[in-house]
Amino acid sequence: MSIIEQQPVEVDGDKLMQFVFRAVDEVGATLNAALVVMGDKLGLYRALAGNGGLTPAELAERTGTAERYVREWLNAQAAGGYVEYDPDSGRYTLPPEQTVALTDSSSPAYLPGFFQIALGSVIDSPKILDVARSGAGFGWHEHVHDVHEGCERFFRPGYNAHLVGEWLPALEGVVEKLERGARVADVGCGHGASTILMAQAFPNSTFVGSDYHADSIETARARAQEAGVADRVQFVVEPAAAYAGSGYDLVTTFDCLHDMGDPVGASRHVLGTLKPDGTWMIVEPYAGDRVEDNLNPVGRAYYSFSTLLCTPASLSQEVGLALGAQAGEARIRDVVRAGGFTRFRRAAETPFNLVFEARP
């Protein structure tokens, strides 16, 4: 009996088969997350980059991997359009655009971190299944390392592309203060990509990056040493609602306000640590205010991350407001104003980010 014959009469057989074939593509894409991470970690993309084409044996030889695995991986990559296969020569080529997206970590189009955080989220999904039954949370710190490192590698290209050139200049008077010498707190900084980037751009300013996750802060300290900015950047383990210091010119939160259990408490604390004419820059995932505004590919990715990472992270903490990664401007404004800020506006945006300016 075919799939169509098993269904009630009102089912449109063509639509059903279209959906099934779309799902075939999506299952291939789901598995491809693991294959992209494999290609990245084994150096397969980097070895293919800029080559006129390699056979599986040549690629295996250059990367110290086993030819039989590499051949199968290459065929999956070719079927998905990630590499091109030439049947006459038996060689596989990485096209120029894929070379940039898969090997150039300085490009805004760099993708491996996106796949790495997605794969890490899927690896941890059995634990989310448990908490979805109980209603309990699951902390950011409890995830596999691929979530933490993938997050850093996913966000850094966007920060490189937009933070210094577009987002900070969109805030009133902030670049001038940073050039003269300002005090900056980067709250929920993770591995410190944003903190280090700002420190490199503004050598007269000093920066404190904080995060409640101790392992992330340890990595951030190592990154600051590697970048040669450890003299101007301090990284500390502290929760957003109680980080130390006051008199900051600028406080930043990059893609973390919605992950917090008590974002209103964090907002109140930010206000208390800012100078009277200071600025809070809030970077959040791009989203519209209504569910129907977000029913598109970007919204799909963010709602999925939100189910597996952001919502459980918030629910694991006190209050557990669980804004979700698609909170949108109106809900973020409510949270910021509830913390006591009087001025709030959207300062900039990209297809993936909303950037808000809050002032006391």
Tell me: does residue 303 bind ligand SAM (CB under 6 A). no
- Which of residues 233, 240, 322, 354 is near ligand SAM by CB under 6 A? 240
Nearer to ligand SAM, 239 or 328 (CB): 239
Nearest to ligand SAM of 260, 315 (CB atom): 260
**Rg of the Cα trace of the chain?**
23
Sites for ligand SAM among residues 159-218 (CB under 6 A)? 188-190, 193-194, 211-213, 216
**Distance separating alpha carbons of residues 291 and 280, to the nearest angstrom:** 27
Q: Which two tokens stand for residue 42?
A: 């084994």
256/332 with CB nearer ligand SAM: 256
Among 317, 324, 333, 356, binds ligand SAM (CB under 6 A): 317
Nearest to 121 by CA among 156, 157, 149, 155: 149
What is the spatial distance between Cα 160 and Cα 101, in angstroms, rounded to a whole number? 15
Residue among 256, 270, 336, 358 that touches ligand SAM (CB under 6 A)? 256
| Residue 206, SS3 per DSSP | strand
At its nearest, how many Å lie between ligand SAM and the CB of residue 312?
11
Give least dist CB 316 to ligand SAM, A: 9
Q: Are 32 and 80 in contact (CB under 8 A)?
A: yes
* 254 lies in the site for ligand SAM, by CB under 6 A: yes
Determine which residue in the list 140, 207, 302, 344 makes contact with ligand SAM, applying CB under 6 A: 140
d(CA 87, CA 194): 45
Q: Which pair of tokens denotes residue 246?
A: 């006051």
Backbone angles phi, psi at 192, to 5 degrees: 80, 20
Which CB, 56 or 209, lies closer to ligand SAM?
209
Alpha helices for the chain (secondary structure H): 13-41, 44-48, 56-63, 67-79, 96-103, 112-123, 125-134, 145-162, 174-180, 193-201, 214-227, 263-273, 297-305, 311-315, 328-338
Contact present, 261 and 334 (Cβ < 8 Å): no
Question: Rounded CA gap, 154 and 13, in Å?
Answer: 40
Site string for ligand SAM, 30-49 (x = CB under 6 A): --------------------
Of 239, 262, 260, the closest CA to residue 312 belongs to 260
- The minimum distance between CB 279 and ligand SAM, in angstroms, equals 17
CB of 17 to ligand SAM, least distance (A): 39
Question: At its nearest, how many Å lie between ligand SAM and the CB of residue 16?
Answer: 38
Which one-letter amino acid corresponds to residue 203? Answer: P
Smallest gap from residue 299 Cβ to ligand SAM (A): 17
With CB under 6 A as the contact rule, the residue among 40, 259, 284, 357 that binds ligand SAM is: 259
Structure tokens at 142: 């409890």
Q: Which span sits near ligand SAM by CB under 6 A: 94-102, 249-257, 288-296, 330-338? A: 249-257
Choice between 74 and 119, CB closer to ligand SAM: 119
CB of 70 or CB of 315, closer to ligand SAM: 315
Total residues binding ligand SAM (CB under 6 A): 22
Provide CB contacts within 8 A for 165, sequence distance 6+.
none
CB of 202 to ligand SAM, least distance (A): 18
Residues that bind ligand SAM (CB under 6 A): 140, 151-152, 155, 188-190, 193-194, 211-213, 216, 239-240, 254-256, 259-260, 313, 317
